[in-house]
Structure 1
């Protein structure tokens, strides 16, 4: 059994239970997140018919009692109430995060006993057990390095296997069990590099890729993390979903790296937190209904709170770029004191006019061009028609993404010359931006492939393509089975903004998630019929690749086809190869 497994299984803390209370496993927080900017542990407690105030009062009492008994008088506790439960958290030293889990569970043990009228365990004995784990987990060399790194203003990244100080070209990494003493470190060789975090419901990946392209155009070695891979320059370090802190650490430890572009998904923020508090800039592209119901994030405003955790990653002079056209972003912005740079499709948006009056930086669309205001003067950056990603201006969501990137690029010091070059070079194709409204020519028709899956992203791409002239329009639709009947109906109705002449409903056999074969295509047909489409306009296919082939057999010169591909992406793309 290795060290980590020993720590994870060191204690089993039993708590009083009841049907109306459910407690998820406590988890480590390694950095800034939804609740605060401190490492520690958090647990999610769900309940019915109990006042949340009673639970939080018990937590404040028992968690404080546990922290003090462990000798963690300098550590703190917090909570967050949501509909149906609470998040309960404690902070802890960075070398005691497994112990923090047991400390949180111990505190909850006494909360649950009092809530349910059960006999609690022996406090002194339970504290002694946690202290035993603390002694095993303690890492004085790590804490010494953290102290000196903070004094020198250089970032330190920690995980179970390695510790690194600095970023990219200014970094050095050591095995967790072979750390140097502070006086053995060449501190003059260590430094941070420009780091940008990108989050939001939609546009994260495109924005991340575009920023990296602009950073490359500036002559720097750039890298990115995403839901698909971690890459430095042209070198893919690993494939997979790396939109969490693990991917960020992998990228930031590569000694070739000069600029880091980090895509951040909701899950990574809520599970572990973010890896640094030394970011140069961050952006929230937008906030919309998607992936609700986990970790106590049940509403879109609560999702906005989670996305805004990126402001806690910012260094002292860091910049938070925000979408002034998004209601939820504007509302949540009222809760942060970050240095905000707004961007908007409307030069007369009140956030833009207000920023200009105050002398704050901002970016906006004016006429047919993208502009940046530096606090004193405005500069025309590029005509929208020269930005391929915008498809001649019809893809307005990509104009917003370009504005977001403009803010990030200026915040990390990239020149307008490089920004213009990157915007003009980056294309909406399978090479630069795979899966995001990629266009193919097939039998004289224009065929677009997009991986959009939520209502917000589907609406954006369908509305953009509906503006393009076409003799006939074809669309391929499919949905995963874990969406409700109403969600499937609503998303289908949204997709019909494309104004298709032919709809092909594809089965997703690998994503039925409890439904029967044929059930989801039937719901798509019902939604289409309810929106005025006739039976002869609706076809079925047994899979996405068969649906795509079915459409490709029918298209003719002058037609447009939109393939919303949720699975079998490789097979669909191969059908379109010349």
Structure 2
């Protein structure tokens, strides 16, 4: 049994239970997140028939008692209520996060006993058990390095296996069980590099890729994390969903790296927090209904709160680039004191006008040009028609992504010429931006492939392509089974903005998530019929690749096809010669 497994299984703490109370496993928080910017632990408690204020009061009392008994008088507590439950968190030293889980479980043991009138365990013995784990987990050399790194003004990144100080070209990495004394570290060789976080419901991958292209155009060695891979320059370090803190640490520890562009998704923020507290800039592209119902994030405003966790990573004077056209972003922005650079498709947007009047930086679209206001004057950076990503200006969502990337690039102190060169050279194809409205030609028809999967992203793509001329229009639709019937109907109705002549409903056999075969195509077909389509306009396919093949077989010169591909992406792209 290795050390981590031994720590994870060191204690089993049982609490009183009831049908109307459910408790998720406590998890370690290693960086800034939804609740705060402290390391520690959080547990999610779901309940009915209980006043949340009673739960929070019990938590404050019992968790404080546990912390004090452990000698953690300097550690803090917080909580967040949501419909149907509460998040309960305590901070802890960075070398005691597994012990913190047991501390939180101990505190909850006494909360549950009071709530349910159950007999509680022996407090002194339970605290002694946690203290025994603390002794095993303690790493005084790590705490010494954290203190020294803070004194030297350089970032430190921690995980179960490695500790690193500095970023990229200014970083050094050590095994967690072989750390040097702070006096033996060559602090003069360690430094941070410009780091940008990009989050949002849609557009974050494209914005991250575009920012990296701009950084490359400046001559810097740039790298990115994403939901698909971690890359430095042209070297892919690993493939997979690396939109969490693990991907960030992998990237920031590469000695070649000079600028970091980190895509961060909701899941990573809520599970573990963000990987650094030393970001130069961050952007929130938008907030829309997607992936609700986890970790107590049940509404779109609550999702906005989670996305805004990136503001907690910013260094003093760091820039938060925000979409002034998004209602949820605008609303949540009132709760941050960060240095905001607004961006918008409309020069007359009220927040853009206010920023200009107050001499604050902002960016916007005006008369077909992407403009940056530097606090005193406008700068015409590039014409939209010269940015291939915008498809001549019809892809409004990609104009917003370009504005976000420009704000980040300038906040990272990259030159305007690099912004122009990066935007002009970045193509909406399978090479530069795979899966995001990639265009192909098949039998003299235009074929677009996009991985859009929620109403917001599908609406944006369909709105953009609905303006393109076509003899006939084809669309391929499929949905994962873990969405509700209404969600599937809504997404289907949104896709019909494309005004297709032919709809092909594809089965996603690997994503049924408990549904029966044919159930989702039935919902797609029923929605299309309710929206005025004839039965002979609706086709079915056993898989996305079969659906794509069926559409390609029917295409004639002048036709237009949109393939919304959620699985079998490589097979579909191979058909198109990508």
TM-score range, shorter chain: over 0.9
SS in structure 1 of the partner of residue 95 of structure 2: helix
Pairing of 1:112-131 with structure 2 (within 5 A): 112-131=112-131
Cα distance between partner residues in 1 of 2:54 and 2:398: 47
Query: Within 2, Cα distance between the matches of 1:347 and 1:534?
Result: 43
Matched, 1:383 2:383: yes
Greater shift after overlay, 480-489 or 51-60? 480-489
Give the distance between the partners of 2:292 and 2:346, measured in 1 at CA. Answer: 30
Query: Residue in 2 aligned with 1:338?
Result: 338
CA shift, 1:486, in A, is 1.0
CA deviation vs aligned residue, 1:316-364 (integer Å, no higher than 9, x gap): 1111000000000000000000010000000000110111111111000
**Map 1:159-308 → 2, pairs under 5 A:** 159-308=159-308
1:89 maps to 89
CA deviations over 1:16-75 (Å, ceiling 9, x no partner): 110100000000000100000000000000000000000000001001111111111110
SS of 1:243's partner is: coil
The answer as to 2:51 corresponding to 1:51 is yes
Task: Kindly state the Cα deviation for residue 515 of structure 1 after the two structures are TM-superposed.
Answer: 1.2
1:26 aligns with 2:39: no
Q: How far does the alpha carbon of each residue in 1:228-279 deviate from its partner, in whole angstroms, 9 at most, with x for none?
A: 0000000000011000000000000000000000000000000000111100
2:527 maps to 527
Counterparts of 1:521-560 in structure 2, within 5 Å, are: 521-560=521-560
Question: What secondary structure sits across from 1:495 in the alignment?
Answer: helix
Task: List 4+ stretches of structure 1 deviating above 6 A.
Answer: none
Please name the residue that 2:368 is paired with.
368
In structure 1, what is the Cα distance between the partners aligned to 2:12 and 2:523? 47
Following the alignment from structure 2 to structure 1, what is the Cα–Cα distance between the partners of residues 505 and 143? 57
Separation in structure 1 between the aligned mates of residue 383 and residue 534 of structure 2, nearest angstrom: 42
Displacement after TM superposition at 1:458 (Å)? 0.3
After TM superposition, give the deviation of residue 519 of structure 1 in Å: 1.2
Task: Indicate yes or no: 2:442 matched with 1:464.
Answer: no
CA shift, 1:513, in A, is: 1.2
Distance in 1 of aligned mates of 2:568 and 2:40? 40
The answer to whether the aligner puts 1:436 opposite 2:411 as a matched pair is no
For 2:538 and 2:239, the matched residues in 1 are separated by: 37
Q: Does 1:396 align with 2:396?
A: yes
Shift of 1:518: 1.1
SS in 2 for 1:275: coil
SS of aligned partner of 1:95? coil
Q: CA deviation at 1:138?
A: 0.7
- The alignment yields a C-alpha RMSD, in angstroms, of 0.6
Q: What are the Cα deviations for residues 468-508 of structure 1, in whole angstroms up to 9, with x where unaligned? A: 01111000001111111111111000000000011111111
CA distance in 2, matches of 1:317, 1:75: 27
**Which whole-Å deviations, capped at 9, do the CAs of 1:268-325 have from their partners, x for residues lacking one?**
0000001111000000100000000000000000000000000001011111000000
Residue 514 (structure 1) shift: 1.3
Shift, 1:224, TM fit: 0.2
Q: TM-score when scaled to structure 2?
A: 1.00
TM-score by length of 1: 1.00
In the alignment, the residues of structure 2 paired with residue 85 and residue 485 of structure 1 have an alpha-carbon distance, to the nearest angstrom, of 25
Corresponding residue for residue 3 of structure 1: 3
CA positional deviation for 1:517? 1.1
Partners of 2:16 and 2:327 lie apart in 1 by: 43
Structure-2 separation of matches of 1:461 and 1:275: 32
The 5-angstrom pairing of residues 407-422 of structure 1 reads: 407-422=407-422
- In the TM superposition, residue 110 of structure 1 has moved relative to its aligned partner by 0.4
Residues 70-85 of structure 1: pairs in structure 2 closer than 5 A: 70-85=70-85
Aligned-pair distance for 1:536?
A: 1.1
In structure 1, the residue matched to 2:509 is 509
Question: Cα distance, 1:546 vs. partner?
Answer: 0.6
Deviation at 1:555, TM superposition (A): 0.7
2:37 corresponds to:
37
- 2:445 counterpart residue number: 445
Q: Give unmatched runs, 5+ long, in structure 2.
A: none
Q: What are the Cα deviations for residues 501-556 of structure 1, in whole angstroms up to 9, with x where unaligned?
A: 11111111111111111111111111001111111111111111011010001111
Equivalent residue, structure 2, for 1:153? 153
2:328 corresponds to: 328
Q: SS at the partner of 2:96? A: helix
Q: Say whether 1:481 aligns with 2:478.
A: no
SS of corresponding position for 2:236: strand
CA distance in 1, matches of 2:321, 2:574: 38
